[in-house]
Structure 1
């Protein structure tokens, strides 16, 4: 049996890709990598990682994930900034999910900032939703 592929769509195994970020052995080097790891956190049901990578100024006090939502794919459409030497960036993406027997799409342009060497999700403009 082959190792499980990462939900974020890079083609790498989960352990080689977002698993390293989720378990704390690595941090996202770019805003896009943070988007991918946050998507994977939704897919594997890891709200602690989502909260840990959310800007404290905009982070909710808690986060509950709906176990009925099955995340089925991520498309990164565009990035602005968010590179290894940037302090801010945006990533536009589409996240696909299935819930209640129907397909759902969430399109978002997310904003990120780097603080103490770590990328954090600040907020985003959402077009569409799950549920």
Structure 2
């Protein structure tokens, strides 16, 4: 067993992967052979990810606020505190805050054998949300 009492500083989400103000807190990155990664991601109103995919899928658990998630060719879905989203391996998607509120979620992924956790795409259309929340 290992208890982590100190973690890395919060860091801004990189502009090539996020639009708007996003902060990332790494919560867990156990040593090999584990490939688990867990982050707390804080989105300002209207902020979101670029389109992306995860090699082994992703679990999102919303801890506060309201947000949006969409998979390729699917509708934009509202998500709220307490909701959990399972994103299939290789499924193109984006997620972020709704237009009027902050949103924080836990993001859990398993890295691929080469250490990558996501394949990132474009931010096209990142500033347009339907008024769904």
| TM, length-normalised to structure 1 | 0.32
| TM, length-normalised to structure 2 | 0.32
Name the structure where strand makes up a greater proportion of residues.
2
Instruction: Return the structure number with greater relative CO, CA threshold 8 A, min gap 6.
Output: 2
